[in-house]
């Protein structure tokens, strides 16, 4: 498993330093994405215009610097970081949050198909350092955004895929916006407000938990709407289905066949006995693991712990 350090106090072009092995891994992921999409020649101009309008400038400078390390174009490096919004129909997840004596825990399986289990094998835990608000993300080399992250003393957040009838919007990419929230939000409440109110490109389900008992919520998002689902009996769970938003669900491929079963199994296990440690959280994650599960993790925002187990 890769471990990276990023200093947010230095210029964006100097923040990422991949080893030769990590750069090769990022290149393999890029090649896989290009094959999935049939190349990007038809989208180069659009990617450039979109990035100029909706990608935060500091993040864009980081991506440009990474492009030179990966030996690819800026637009190809952008693709690595915008891939979720393009192909979320093959992206799943099961996640839950639970109160414990040491504060809430957030546990999640990340389910995402790639050839040769690349996303599992190339998992990267990245520690971001800044003067007041350090945080950790779980991703891959070449990816500057966040699908899973924890900020010590503040909150943890994970993203699950979902599909509605609402069209994609020209707005902030969700993975980069989660990164912005990890950088800027000072409290759990502020993080929830930011994640619920900002227009975003595409649908998603966001599980957020804080450091105090009961600080956990699922934010059901479309590009323009949000609904907040609160915990019951000390826990909350989420898979790949809206449960509050009045939205016509669009079938997300094979994930539709398992989303309700995973939700029901997770809730049944939590109702039978609430886990109080990371190990007992991992036991529940294992019960709903899929063949395409690539990462299992438990995040504890009270102290910023990120325990990650790549699948395989």
Q: Please give the Cα distance from 80 to 118 (Å, whole number).
A: 14
Give the rounded percent of residues in the chain with a pLDDT score beyond 70. Answer: 95
Question: 183-205, pLDDT tens digit by residue?
Answer: 999 999 999 999 999 999 989 99
pLDDT at 115: 76
Question: 149-184, pLDDT tens digit by residue?
Answer: 999 999 999 999 888 888 878 898 999 999 999 999
Q: Which residue, 141, 208, 156, 180, is CA-closest to 55?
A: 180
Q: Please give the Cα distance from 206 to 208 (Å, whole number).
A: 6
Give the rounded percent of residues in the chain with a pLDDT score beyond 90. Answer: 76
CATH number, domain of 163, equals 3.60.60.10
Question: 224-279, pLDDT tens digit by residue?
Answer: 999 999 999 999 999 999 999 976 555 555 566 789 999 999 999 999 999 999 99
Residues 108 and 223 in one domain: yes
Residues 265 and 154 in one domain: yes
* Final residue before a domain boundary, out of 86, 104, 126: 86
pLDDT at 89: 52
Cβ(138)–Cβ(172) below 8 Å: no
Residues 227 and 109 in one domain: yes
Q: Please give the Cα distance from 155 to 103 (Å, whole number).
A: 11
Mean pLDDT of the chain: 92
* Final residue before a domain boundary, out of 86, 107, 137: 86
Residues 27 and 150 in one domain: no
Q: Please give the Cα distance from 22 to 30 (Å, whole number).
A: 12
Question: 64-91, pLDDT tens digit by residue?
Answer: 999 999 999 999 999 889 877 766 555 6
pLDDT at 17: 97
pLDDT at 266: 98
Cβ(216)–Cβ(104) below 8 Å: yes
What are the beta bridge partners of residue 227? 220
Residues 294 and 171 in one domain: yes
Classify residue 187 by its DSSP letter.
Answer: S
Residues 35 and 128 in one domain: no
What are the beta bridge partners of residue 308? 297
pLDDT at 255: 63
pLDDT at 286: 98
CB-CB neighbours of 60 under 10 Å? 20
pLDDT at 254: 57
What pTM was computed for the model? 0.95
Residues 128 and 68 in one domain: no
Strands 2-7 and 124-129: parallel
Residues 167 and 251 in one domain: yes
- The alpha-helical segments, DSSP class H, found in the chain are 20-37, 44-54, 57-70, 74-87, 118-121, 174-184, 188-197, 259-272, 278-287
Residues 133 and 243 in one domain: yes
Looking at the 3D structure of the chain, how many domains does it have?
2
Residues 67 and 186 in one domain: no
Residues 202 and 283 in one domain: yes
Question: Cα separations (Å) of 269 from 120, 208, 273?
Answer: 26, 20, 6
Residues 78 and 215 in one domain: no
Cβ(207)–Cβ(93) below 8 Å: no
Note down the domain range covering 284.
Answer: 88-310
């Amino acid at each position: 498993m890769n471990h990276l350090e990023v200093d947010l106090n230095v210029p964006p072009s100097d923040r990422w330093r991949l080893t030769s092995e990590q750069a090769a891994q990022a290149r393999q992921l890029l090649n896989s994405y290009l094959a999935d999409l049939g190349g990007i020649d038809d989208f180069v101009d659009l990617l450039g215009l979109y990035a100029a309008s909706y990608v935060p400038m500091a993040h864009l400078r980081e991506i440009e610097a990474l492009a030179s390390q990966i030996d690819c174009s800026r637009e190809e490096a952008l693709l690595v970081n915008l891939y979720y919004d393009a192909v979320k129909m093959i992206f799943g997840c099961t996640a839950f949050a639970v109160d414990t004596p040491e504060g809430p825990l957030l546990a999640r399986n990340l389910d995402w198909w790639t050839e040769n289990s690349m996303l599992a094998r190339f998992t990267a835990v990245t520690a971001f350092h800044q003067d007041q608000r350090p945080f950790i993300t779980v991703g891959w080399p070449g990816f500057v955004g966040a699908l899973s992250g924890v900020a010590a003393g503040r909150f943890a957040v994970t993203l699950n895929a979902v599909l509605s009838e609402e069209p994609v919007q020209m707005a902030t990419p969700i993975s980069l916006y989660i990164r912005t929230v990890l950088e800027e939000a000072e409290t759990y409440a502020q993080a929830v407000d930011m994640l619920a109110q900002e227009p975003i490109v595409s649908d998603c389900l966001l599980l957020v938990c804080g450091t105090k008992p009961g600080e956990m919520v699922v934010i059901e998002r479309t590009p323009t709407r949000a609904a907040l689902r609160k915990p019951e009996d000390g826990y909350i769970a989420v898979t790949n289905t809206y449960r509050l938003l009045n939205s016509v669900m669009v079938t997300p491929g094979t994930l539709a066949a398992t989303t309700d079963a995973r939700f029901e199994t997770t809730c049944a296990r939590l109702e039978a006995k609430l886990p109080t440690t990371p190990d007992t959280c991992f036991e529940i994650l294992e019960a709903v693991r899929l063949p395409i599960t690539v990462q299992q993790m438990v995040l504890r925002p009270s102290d910023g712990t990120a325990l990650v187990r790549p699948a395989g």
